[in-house]
Chains A and B, each alone.
Chain A
Amino acid sequence: MVSTDPQIWIAAFLTLAATSYAFRDNKVFKFAENIFIGVAAGHLVVMGVKNIRDYGWAHLAQGEIIYAVVFLLGILLYTRYHKEYYWLYRYPIAFLVGNGIGISIRAAIHSDFTVQIAQTASPLIASDAMGTINNIILFIGVVTALSHFIFTYEGMHQGVLGYAPKVGRWMILLALGASFGNTVMTRFGMYQGRVVFLLREWLQII
Protein backbone atom coordinates (compact mmCIF):
# COMPACT_ATOMS: atom_id res chain seq x y z
CA MET A 1 0.00 0.00 0.00
CA VAL A 2 1.45 3.33 -1.09
CA SER A 3 2.05 6.01 1.55
CA THR A 4 -0.58 8.76 1.92
CA ASP A 5 1.76 11.15 3.74
CA PRO A 6 2.36 14.26 1.54
CA GLN A 7 5.82 14.70 3.09
CA ILE A 8 6.81 11.22 1.86
CA TRP A 9 5.36 11.96 -1.60
CA ILE A 10 7.32 15.21 -1.92
CA ALA A 11 10.51 13.48 -0.74
CA ALA A 12 9.93 10.59 -3.17
CA PHE A 13 9.28 12.93 -6.11
CA LEU A 14 12.43 14.94 -5.36
CA THR A 15 14.49 11.75 -4.96
CA LEU A 16 13.35 10.54 -8.39
CA ALA A 17 13.81 14.01 -9.90
CA ALA A 18 17.38 14.26 -8.63
CA THR A 19 18.14 10.77 -9.93
CA SER A 20 16.72 11.50 -13.38
CA TYR A 21 20.00 13.20 -14.35
CA ALA A 22 21.61 9.75 -14.46
CA PHE A 23 19.76 9.25 -17.76
CA ARG A 24 20.17 12.74 -19.23
CA ASP A 25 19.85 16.41 -18.31
CA ASN A 26 16.16 17.33 -18.20
CA LYS A 27 13.70 19.93 -16.89
CA VAL A 28 12.61 17.83 -13.93
CA PHE A 29 16.21 17.59 -12.74
CA LYS A 30 16.73 21.32 -13.22
CA PHE A 31 13.60 21.95 -11.20
CA ALA A 32 14.93 19.76 -8.35
CA GLU A 33 18.39 21.29 -8.64
CA ASN A 34 17.09 24.85 -8.29
CA ILE A 35 14.86 23.86 -5.39
CA PHE A 36 17.91 22.36 -3.69
CA ILE A 37 20.05 25.47 -4.16
CA GLY A 38 17.26 27.72 -2.90
CA VAL A 39 16.51 25.51 0.10
CA ALA A 40 20.21 25.12 0.97
CA ALA A 41 20.71 28.90 0.80
CA GLY A 42 17.59 29.52 2.90
CA HIS A 43 18.69 26.93 5.46
CA LEU A 44 22.16 28.50 5.72
CA VAL A 45 20.64 31.95 6.21
CA VAL A 46 18.39 30.63 9.00
CA MET A 47 21.35 28.93 10.70
CA GLY A 48 23.40 32.10 10.19
CA VAL A 49 20.78 34.28 11.89
CA LYS A 50 20.65 31.77 14.74
CA ASN A 51 24.44 31.96 15.11
CA ILE A 52 24.31 35.76 15.08
CA ARG A 53 21.74 35.59 17.89
CA ASP A 54 23.65 33.00 19.96
CA TYR A 55 27.23 34.16 19.47
CA GLY A 56 26.76 37.90 18.97
CA TRP A 57 23.43 39.35 20.04
CA ALA A 58 23.27 37.30 23.29
CA HIS A 59 26.60 38.79 24.42
CA LEU A 60 25.59 42.31 23.39
CA ALA A 61 22.31 41.97 25.30
CA GLN A 62 24.28 41.03 28.41
CA GLY A 63 26.14 44.35 28.22
CA GLU A 64 29.31 43.22 26.42
CA ILE A 65 29.53 46.40 24.35
CA ILE A 66 32.67 45.15 22.56
CA TYR A 67 30.39 42.82 20.56
CA ALA A 68 28.95 45.88 18.79
CA VAL A 69 32.22 45.91 16.80
CA VAL A 70 31.50 42.54 15.18
CA PHE A 71 28.10 43.78 14.01
CA LEU A 72 29.82 46.79 12.48
CA LEU A 73 32.33 44.47 10.79
CA GLY A 74 29.46 42.29 9.55
CA ILE A 75 27.77 45.28 7.96
CA LEU A 76 31.08 46.32 6.38
CA LEU A 77 31.02 43.02 4.41
CA TYR A 78 28.18 44.47 2.36
CA THR A 79 30.19 47.55 1.30
CA ARG A 80 31.67 45.43 -1.49
CA TYR A 81 28.66 46.48 -3.56
CA HIS A 82 29.57 50.17 -3.14
CA LYS A 83 31.66 51.66 -5.95
CA GLU A 84 33.63 54.03 -3.73
CA TYR A 85 33.84 52.32 -0.34
CA TYR A 86 34.08 48.71 -1.55
CA TRP A 87 37.51 48.37 0.11
CA LEU A 88 35.93 48.47 3.58
CA TYR A 89 34.81 44.84 3.11
CA ARG A 90 38.48 43.92 3.43
CA TYR A 91 38.38 44.56 7.19
CA PRO A 92 35.96 41.73 8.07
CA ILE A 93 37.54 39.50 5.41
CA ALA A 94 40.96 40.15 6.97
CA PHE A 95 39.50 39.19 10.34
CA LEU A 96 38.08 35.92 8.96
CA VAL A 97 41.32 35.11 7.13
CA GLY A 98 43.45 35.82 10.22
CA ASN A 99 41.17 33.67 12.37
CA GLY A 100 41.12 30.84 9.83
CA ILE A 101 44.88 30.89 9.33
CA GLY A 102 45.62 30.99 13.05
CA ILE A 103 43.40 27.97 13.65
CA SER A 104 44.74 26.09 10.60
CA ILE A 105 48.39 26.71 11.55
CA ARG A 106 47.94 25.29 15.03
CA ALA A 107 45.83 22.40 13.73
CA ALA A 108 48.34 21.61 10.96
CA ILE A 109 51.31 21.62 13.33
CA HIS A 110 49.51 19.32 15.73
CA SER A 111 47.47 16.88 13.66
CA ASP A 112 49.25 16.94 10.26
CA PHE A 113 52.77 17.19 11.56
CA THR A 114 53.47 16.22 15.18
CA VAL A 115 50.91 13.42 15.46
CA GLN A 116 51.78 11.91 12.07
CA ILE A 117 55.52 11.89 12.79
CA ALA A 118 54.94 10.50 16.29
CA GLN A 119 52.79 7.68 14.94
CA THR A 120 55.37 6.84 12.27
CA ALA A 121 58.24 6.83 14.78
CA SER A 122 57.14 3.55 16.36
CA PRO A 123 59.07 0.23 16.43
CA LEU A 124 59.16 -1.56 13.08
CA ILE A 125 59.32 -4.99 14.69
CA ALA A 126 55.86 -6.22 15.67
CA SER A 127 54.77 -9.33 17.59
CA ASP A 128 54.16 -11.24 14.33
CA ALA A 129 55.82 -11.34 10.92
CA MET A 130 52.87 -9.81 9.08
CA GLY A 131 52.79 -6.90 11.52
CA THR A 132 56.48 -6.27 10.92
CA ILE A 133 56.01 -6.35 7.14
CA ASN A 134 53.08 -3.95 7.42
CA ASN A 135 55.11 -1.57 9.61
CA ILE A 136 57.97 -1.59 7.08
CA ILE A 137 55.59 -0.94 4.16
CA LEU A 138 53.92 1.86 6.11
CA PHE A 139 57.28 3.44 6.97
CA ILE A 140 58.47 3.21 3.35
CA GLY A 141 55.13 4.71 2.26
CA VAL A 142 55.50 7.70 4.57
CA VAL A 143 59.12 8.46 3.68
CA THR A 144 58.77 7.95 -0.08
CA ALA A 145 55.43 9.78 -0.37
CA LEU A 146 56.94 12.70 1.52
CA SER A 147 60.03 12.67 -0.70
CA HIS A 148 57.73 12.94 -3.74
CA PHE A 149 56.73 16.43 -2.54
CA ILE A 150 60.28 17.72 -2.10
CA PHE A 151 60.86 20.13 -4.98
CA THR A 152 63.30 22.56 -3.36
CA TYR A 153 66.23 20.17 -3.99
CA GLU A 154 66.42 19.18 -7.65
CA GLY A 155 68.70 16.21 -6.98
CA MET A 156 65.85 14.59 -5.05
CA HIS A 157 64.23 13.50 -8.31
CA GLN A 158 67.41 12.44 -10.13
CA GLY A 159 69.85 9.52 -10.03
CA VAL A 160 69.73 7.01 -7.18
CA LEU A 161 67.73 9.39 -4.95
CA GLY A 162 65.09 9.56 -7.68
CA TYR A 163 63.86 6.06 -6.79
CA ALA A 164 62.38 7.30 -3.51
CA PRO A 165 59.98 9.86 -5.08
CA LYS A 166 59.12 7.28 -7.79
CA VAL A 167 58.15 4.66 -5.19
CA GLY A 168 56.33 7.46 -3.34
CA ARG A 169 54.29 8.20 -6.47
CA TRP A 170 53.37 4.50 -6.77
CA MET A 171 52.30 4.45 -3.12
CA ILE A 172 50.21 7.60 -3.62
CA LEU A 173 48.57 6.11 -6.74
CA LEU A 174 47.73 2.92 -4.84
CA ALA A 175 46.22 5.02 -2.03
CA LEU A 176 44.27 7.24 -4.43
CA GLY A 177 42.87 4.19 -6.21
CA ALA A 178 41.72 2.78 -2.86
CA SER A 179 40.18 6.13 -1.89
CA PHE A 180 38.39 6.31 -5.22
CA GLY A 181 36.97 2.81 -4.80
CA ASN A 182 35.92 3.59 -1.27
CA THR A 183 34.22 6.85 -2.28
CA VAL A 184 32.29 5.15 -5.10
CA MET A 185 31.07 2.42 -2.75
CA THR A 186 30.16 4.92 -0.01
CA ARG A 187 28.06 6.91 -2.48
CA PHE A 188 26.39 3.74 -3.76
CA GLY A 189 25.66 2.81 -0.16
CA MET A 190 24.01 6.19 0.36
CA TYR A 191 22.01 5.82 -2.82
CA GLN A 192 20.91 2.41 -1.64
CA GLY A 193 19.47 4.26 1.37
CA ARG A 194 17.37 6.41 -0.98
CA VAL A 195 16.15 3.33 -2.87
CA VAL A 196 15.20 1.70 0.42
CA PHE A 197 13.30 4.89 1.32
CA LEU A 198 11.35 4.71 -1.96
CA LEU A 199 10.50 1.04 -1.53
CA ARG A 200 9.82 1.07 2.21
CA GLU A 201 8.47 4.53 3.09
CA TRP A 202 6.81 5.50 -0.18
CA LEU A 203 5.70 2.32 -1.96
CA GLN A 204 5.73 0.24 1.26
CA ILE A 205 6.58 -2.97 -0.57
CA ILE A 206 9.49 -4.09 1.59
Chain B
Amino acid sequence: MVDFRRDIPLAITFIIGVIAVLDYYTTIPIFINTFTVIKNWGVVLQAFALGLGAVNLLRVHGRRISERRDDWYFSAVLLAMMFIFIIVGLITGQYESGATYNWLYNAIYLPLGSTMYSSLAFYMAYGAYKVLRARTFEAALLFTTAVLVIIGNTPIFPAMFPGFFHIREWIFGPIVGGAYRGIRIGVGIGAVVLGIRTLIGLETGYLGRR
Protein backbone atom coordinates (compact mmCIF):
# COMPACT_ATOMS: atom_id res chain seq x y z
CA MET B 1 0.00 0.00 0.00
CA VAL B 2 1.46 3.34 -1.05
CA ASP B 3 1.73 5.93 1.71
CA PHE B 4 0.98 9.21 -0.09
CA ARG B 5 2.36 11.22 2.83
CA ARG B 6 5.77 9.59 2.80
CA ASP B 7 6.42 7.24 -0.12
CA ILE B 8 5.50 9.66 -2.93
CA PRO B 9 7.80 12.47 -1.65
CA LEU B 10 10.65 9.98 -1.23
CA ALA B 11 10.07 8.73 -4.79
CA ILE B 12 10.02 12.32 -6.12
CA THR B 13 13.34 13.09 -4.38
CA PHE B 14 14.93 9.92 -5.76
CA ILE B 15 13.74 10.41 -9.35
CA ILE B 16 14.64 14.10 -9.55
CA GLY B 17 18.05 13.55 -7.91
CA VAL B 18 18.92 10.63 -10.20
CA ILE B 19 17.92 12.62 -13.32
CA ALA B 20 20.12 15.53 -12.16
CA VAL B 21 23.10 13.18 -11.75
CA LEU B 22 22.47 11.34 -15.04
CA ASP B 23 22.21 14.66 -16.88
CA TYR B 24 25.81 15.35 -15.86
CA TYR B 25 27.31 11.92 -16.43
CA THR B 26 25.50 10.84 -19.61
CA THR B 27 24.72 12.36 -23.01
CA ILE B 28 21.29 10.75 -23.30
CA PRO B 29 18.94 13.48 -24.68
CA ILE B 30 15.93 12.52 -22.54
CA PHE B 31 17.87 13.17 -19.31
CA ILE B 32 19.36 16.42 -20.61
CA ASN B 33 15.97 17.72 -21.81
CA THR B 34 14.18 16.60 -18.67
CA PHE B 35 16.78 18.20 -16.42
CA THR B 36 16.44 21.50 -18.31
CA VAL B 37 12.76 21.49 -17.35
CA ILE B 38 13.62 20.41 -13.78
CA LYS B 39 16.07 23.33 -13.42
CA ASN B 40 13.36 25.80 -14.53
CA TRP B 41 10.86 24.21 -12.17
CA GLY B 42 13.42 24.46 -9.36
CA VAL B 43 13.74 28.22 -9.91
CA VAL B 44 9.94 28.63 -9.96
CA LEU B 45 9.48 26.53 -6.81
CA GLN B 46 12.20 28.47 -4.98
CA ALA B 47 10.31 31.64 -5.87
CA PHE B 48 7.11 30.17 -4.42
CA ALA B 49 9.10 29.21 -1.31
CA LEU B 50 10.25 32.85 -0.96
CA GLY B 51 6.57 33.79 -0.94
CA LEU B 52 6.17 31.33 1.92
CA GLY B 53 8.83 33.26 3.82
CA ALA B 54 6.96 36.52 3.21
CA VAL B 55 3.73 34.92 4.44
CA ASN B 56 5.54 33.76 7.59
CA LEU B 57 6.85 37.28 8.20
CA LEU B 58 3.32 38.59 7.73
CA ARG B 59 1.92 36.08 10.24
CA VAL B 60 4.58 36.64 12.90
CA HIS B 61 4.73 40.43 12.70
CA GLY B 62 1.00 40.79 12.03
CA ARG B 63 0.38 38.98 15.33
CA ARG B 64 2.88 41.24 17.14
CA ILE B 65 1.07 44.30 15.84
CA SER B 66 -2.44 43.04 16.60
CA GLU B 67 -1.43 42.03 20.16
CA ARG B 68 0.43 45.34 20.65
CA ARG B 69 3.51 43.57 22.00
CA ASP B 70 6.68 45.46 22.98
CA ASP B 71 8.16 47.43 20.08
CA TRP B 72 5.23 46.44 17.86
CA TYR B 73 5.76 49.57 15.77
CA PHE B 74 9.04 48.11 14.48
CA SER B 75 7.02 45.21 13.09
CA ALA B 76 4.74 47.75 11.40
CA VAL B 77 7.80 49.41 9.84
CA LEU B 78 9.06 46.01 8.66
CA LEU B 79 5.77 45.09 6.99
CA ALA B 80 5.33 48.57 5.52
CA MET B 81 8.76 48.43 3.89
CA MET B 82 8.11 44.93 2.58
CA PHE B 83 4.83 46.01 0.97
CA ILE B 84 6.34 49.21 -0.43
CA PHE B 85 9.04 47.21 -2.23
CA ILE B 86 6.56 44.60 -3.47
CA ILE B 87 4.08 47.20 -4.72
CA VAL B 88 6.71 49.40 -6.38
CA GLY B 89 8.42 46.37 -7.92
CA LEU B 90 5.29 44.71 -9.26
CA ILE B 91 2.96 47.59 -10.12
CA THR B 92 5.28 49.01 -12.80
CA GLY B 93 5.88 45.59 -14.35
CA GLN B 94 9.58 46.48 -14.55
CA TYR B 95 10.56 44.64 -11.38
CA GLU B 96 14.06 45.61 -10.15
CA SER B 97 14.87 47.69 -13.24
CA GLY B 98 12.18 50.35 -12.66
CA ALA B 99 13.44 53.88 -11.87
CA THR B 100 11.51 54.24 -8.58
CA TYR B 101 12.52 50.76 -7.48
CA ASN B 102 16.16 51.52 -8.26
CA TRP B 103 15.94 54.74 -6.27
CA LEU B 104 14.56 52.89 -3.24
CA TYR B 105 17.08 50.08 -3.66
CA ASN B 106 20.04 52.48 -3.72
CA ALA B 107 18.69 54.61 -0.87
CA ILE B 108 17.69 51.80 1.51
CA TYR B 109 18.70 48.24 0.62
CA LEU B 110 22.23 48.91 -0.62
CA PRO B 111 23.52 51.05 2.30
CA LEU B 112 21.81 48.90 4.93
CA GLY B 113 22.98 45.65 3.38
CA SER B 114 26.61 46.67 3.09
CA THR B 115 26.71 48.40 6.49
CA MET B 116 25.06 45.47 8.32
CA TYR B 117 27.45 43.05 6.64
CA SER B 118 30.61 45.08 7.11
CA SER B 119 29.91 46.32 10.64
CA LEU B 120 30.18 42.70 11.81
CA ALA B 121 33.92 43.41 11.60
CA PHE B 122 33.63 45.34 14.89
CA TYR B 123 32.14 42.34 16.70
CA MET B 124 34.60 39.97 15.08
CA ALA B 125 37.51 42.14 16.19
CA TYR B 126 36.03 42.45 19.68
CA GLY B 127 35.39 38.70 19.82
CA ALA B 128 38.95 38.05 18.68
CA TYR B 129 40.27 40.36 21.39
CA LYS B 130 38.29 38.41 24.01
CA VAL B 131 38.98 34.91 22.72
CA LEU B 132 42.20 34.89 20.69
CA ARG B 133 44.73 34.35 23.46
CA ALA B 134 47.74 32.16 22.87
CA ARG B 135 47.10 30.03 25.99
CA THR B 136 47.84 26.72 24.29
CA PHE B 137 49.99 25.69 21.35
CA GLU B 138 46.93 25.20 19.13
CA ALA B 139 45.46 28.58 20.10
CA ALA B 140 48.84 30.12 19.31
CA LEU B 141 48.72 28.66 15.79
CA LEU B 142 45.30 30.21 15.18
CA PHE B 143 46.37 33.49 16.72
CA THR B 144 49.64 33.73 14.79
CA THR B 145 48.21 33.36 11.28
CA ALA B 146 45.24 35.60 12.13
CA VAL B 147 47.59 38.40 13.28
CA LEU B 148 50.00 37.93 10.36
CA VAL B 149 47.17 38.06 7.82
CA ILE B 150 45.63 41.13 9.45
CA ILE B 151 49.03 42.86 9.44
CA GLY B 152 49.65 41.79 5.83
CA ASN B 153 46.26 43.16 4.80
CA THR B 154 46.72 46.52 6.53
CA PRO B 155 48.40 48.86 4.00
CA ILE B 156 50.68 50.64 6.49
CA PHE B 157 52.57 47.51 7.62
CA PRO B 158 53.53 46.14 4.17
CA ALA B 159 54.40 49.75 3.22
CA MET B 160 56.93 49.86 6.06
CA PHE B 161 58.11 46.28 5.64
CA PRO B 162 57.10 44.53 2.36
CA GLY B 163 57.91 41.19 3.95
CA PHE B 164 54.52 41.25 5.76
CA PHE B 165 52.77 41.14 2.41
CA HIS B 166 54.88 38.17 1.25
CA ILE B 167 54.28 36.34 4.54
CA ARG B 168 50.53 36.81 4.04
CA GLU B 169 50.79 35.54 0.46
CA TRP B 170 52.83 32.54 1.60
CA ILE B 171 50.30 31.67 4.33
CA PHE B 172 47.53 31.65 1.73
CA GLY B 173 49.62 29.47 -0.58
CA PRO B 174 50.77 26.15 0.88
CA ILE B 175 49.28 26.49 4.38
CA VAL B 176 45.70 27.56 3.66
CA GLY B 177 45.72 25.87 0.25
CA GLY B 178 46.80 22.51 1.65
CA ALA B 179 44.51 22.49 4.69
CA TYR B 180 41.45 23.70 2.74
CA ARG B 181 42.08 21.18 -0.01
CA GLY B 182 42.00 18.43 2.60
CA ILE B 183 38.84 19.92 4.11
CA ARG B 184 37.19 20.19 0.67
CA ILE B 185 37.91 16.57 -0.16
CA GLY B 186 36.41 15.57 3.20
CA VAL B 187 33.41 17.80 2.66
CA GLY B 188 32.98 16.41 -0.86
CA ILE B 189 32.93 12.84 0.42
CA GLY B 190 30.46 13.85 3.14
CA ALA B 191 28.18 15.66 0.67
CA VAL B 192 28.07 12.68 -1.68
CA VAL B 193 27.38 10.21 1.14
CA LEU B 194 24.65 12.43 2.64
CA GLY B 195 23.18 12.97 -0.83
CA ILE B 196 23.02 9.25 -1.57
CA ARG B 197 21.52 8.53 1.85
CA THR B 198 18.83 11.15 1.22
CA LEU B 199 18.12 9.91 -2.31
CA ILE B 200 17.58 6.34 -1.14
CA GLY B 201 15.36 7.47 1.72
CA LEU B 202 17.62 6.96 4.74
CA GLU B 203 17.58 10.67 5.62
CA THR B 204 14.00 11.97 5.88
CA GLY B 205 14.38 15.09 8.03
CA TYR B 206 13.17 17.35 5.21
CA LEU B 207 9.73 15.71 5.35
CA GLY B 208 9.08 17.28 8.74
CA ARG B 209 8.12 15.59 11.97
CA ARG B 210 4.35 15.81 11.93
Residues of B within 8 A of A94 (CB): 8-10, 12-13, 16, 206-207
Q: Mark A67-96, 1 if CB is under 8 A from B, else 0.
A: 101110111011011000011001111111
Within B34-77, the residues touching A (CB, 8 Å) are 37-55, 57, 71, 74-75, 77
Question: A56, A95, A133, A145: which contacts B12 (Cβ < 8 A)?
Answer: A95
A155 to B202, CA, bound (A): 28
Cβ–Cβ contact A36 & B74, under 8 A: no
A30-B125 in contact given A43-B96, A87-B5 (Cβ < 8 Å): no
Name the prevailing secondary structure of the B interface residues.
helix
Q: Are A42 and B89 in touch, CB under 8 angstroms?
A: yes
Interface residues of A in 34-57 (CB under 8 A from B): 34-52, 55-56
Q: Is A156 an interface residue (CB 8 A)?
A: no
**Contact flag A113-B185 (CB < 8 Å), given A34-B77, A92-B45:** yes
Across the interface, which residues of B come within 8 angstroms of A177, CB to CB?
141-146, 149
Contact check, A42 vs B83: say whether CB atoms are below 8 A apart: yes
Complex Cα distance, B77 from A11, in Å, reads 17
Contact of B13 among A35, A97, A108, A117 (CB under 8 A): A97
A49-B95 in contact (CB<8A): yes
Taken together as a complex, chains A and B put the C-alpha atoms of A102 and B119 apart, in Å, by 36
Interface size on B, residues (CB 8 A): 123
B112 A104 Cβ-Cβ under 8 A? no
Q: How far is the CB of B47 from chain A (nearest CB, A)?
A: 3
| A132 → B minimal CB distance (Å) | 11
Chain B residue nearest in CB terms to A81: B55
Partner of B44, one of A56, A113, A176: A56
B196 on the A face (CB < 8 A): yes
Q: Which residues of A contact B145 (CB under 8 A)?
A: 174-175, 177-178, 181
Given known pairs A30-B71, A73-B45, A106-B20, the reply for A41 and B14 (CB within 8 Å) is no
Complex: chain B residue closest to A87, CB-CB: B5
Q: Which residues of B contact A135 (CB under 8 A)?
A: 174
| Bound CA span A55–B38, Å | 11
The reply to whether the CB of B159 lies closer than 8 angstroms to some CB of chain A is no
Determine if A140 is an interface residue (Cβ-Cβ < 8 Å).
yes
- Asked whether any CB of chain B lies closer than 8 Å to the CB of A199, the reply is no
Q: Which of A102, A137, A140 contacts B16 (CB 8 A)?
A: A102
CB distance from B205 to the nearest CB of A (A): 10
**Across-interface contacts of B208 in A (CB, < 8 A):** 90
Is A127's CB within 8 Å of the partner chain B? no
Min Cβ gap A71→B in Å is 8
**Is B142's CB under 8 angstroms from A18's CB?**
no
CB of B150 within 8 A of CB of A185, answer yes
* Residue from B12, B52, B105 with most neighbouring chain A CB atoms (10 Å): B12
Report the minimum CB–CB distance from A141 to chain B (whole Å).
2
Q: In the complex, what's the smallest C-beta–C-beta distance from A202 to chain B, in angstroms?
A: 10
Q: Which of A170-206 contact B (CB under 8 A)?
A: 170-185, 187-191, 193-194, 197
A105 engages B50 (CB within 8 Å): no
Q: B109-122: contact bitstring with A at CB < 8 Å (1 yes, 0 no)?
A: 11111111111111
Q: Judge whether A178 and B17 touch: CB under 8 Å.
A: no
What are 10 inter-chain pairs, A to B, with CB distance below 8 A?
A19-B115, A35-B112, A39-B81, A43-B105, A55-B41, A99-B16, A141-B182, A143-B182, A168-B182, A177-B149
A residues apposed to B, CB below 8 Å: 6-7, 10-12, 14-15, 18-19, 21-22, 30-52, 55-56, 59, 66-67, 69-71, 73-75, 77-78, 80-81, 86-87, 90-106, 108-109, 111-113, 116-117, 119-120, 133-135, 137-146, 148-149, 168-185, 187-191, 193-194, 197
Given contacts A21-B119, A95-B16, 13 further A-B contacts (CB under 8 A): A35-B81, A35-B108, A41-B57, A42-B82, A49-B90, A94-B13, A94-B207, A97-B17, A106-B25, A116-B181, A139-B178, A185-B154, A191-B118
